[in-house]
Structure 1
Amino acid sequence: MFSKYALVIVSFLVFNSGANKKMYLKEYYENGKKKAEGWVLNDAKTDYWKFYYPNGKLKAEGHFKKGKKENYWYFYDENGRLDMEGHYTADEMNNWWLFYDNKGQIDHKCQLRNGTKNGYCLKYMNKKLKSAQKYKNGKKINEWFDFRSFRRDNNLSDLK
């Protein structure tokens, strides 16, 4: 029977230079399904990792650097559909993030800073732009429902 927190090393030491020990690990749920797999360097997650739901479907995938999420990540729902994707910097959600509805279509995309809406957030319905919102430190400061007013209010009059 598998332990709830069973950790299995599936490859041996890749390199050992003094204190630098890099290995590939797999972790399993109690039901025997894979929970996570990826690289560890000096006891910290590094490079590419995958995480799974107890049903075996992919939950998330992306890169780590010194134990913190970095670069581009993908997150999935329990049915395997893409739920959201975007950039991490030192374990914080930053830059543009895409959020999907239960049909797999983009519901909205937002600019984030340290996990908080900061900048523009574009909302979609049936693959068409529904509105644009502007946030500052997580608080909505404006919303537009047509491109003409959006351009005017954001000094984008030179756009054709």
Structure 2
Amino acid sequence: MESRSDDEGGTGPGTDLIQAGYALAGGDGCIAQARRDAADFLTRARDERGVDVSSRAMDLTRLVVSELVTNVRKYAPGPALMQLRVTGAMVEVVVRDSDPTVPVAGTADPARIGRHGLEIVQAVAQDLAVERRPDGKRVIARIVLADPPGGDAAARRPR
């Protein structure tokens, strides 16, 4: 993992930009490896930089990484990259691939088997964005790192 600090954007523990990038190998173990990479990244941010990372944020980040990397493995040909960034009170999970097709979450259908990944990410992330790029697309999910005051883990920005 490579991480770097940019001095733009604040002072004190956890306010500098911390980021790491990973090439997604595409083999059978790449989804599990991406989850491990995400957990290691957040553990290092917590232990080495003093970032407040709740257990909930750790679990949700692994879940989001799993769903987004699974989508890349299933639907996007070619190389893919994952970038993790701690920016202020959030972790951003950015997954880039070479397919310009913008994914769309399906309508709720309890009878549908599979294809719920984007719905899951929308439900647990503070924010989800998809950006079409000349070389494909990037999907960005943002997850709040600390538990909100009062323990309301479901507190989110209204959509």
After TM superposition, is the score higher than 0.5?
no
Richer in strand (by share): 1
Query: What TM-score do the two structures reach when normalised by structure 2?
Result: 0.25
Higher relative contact order (CA 8 A, sep 6+): 2
Query: What TM-score do the two structures reach when normalised by structure 1?
Result: 0.25
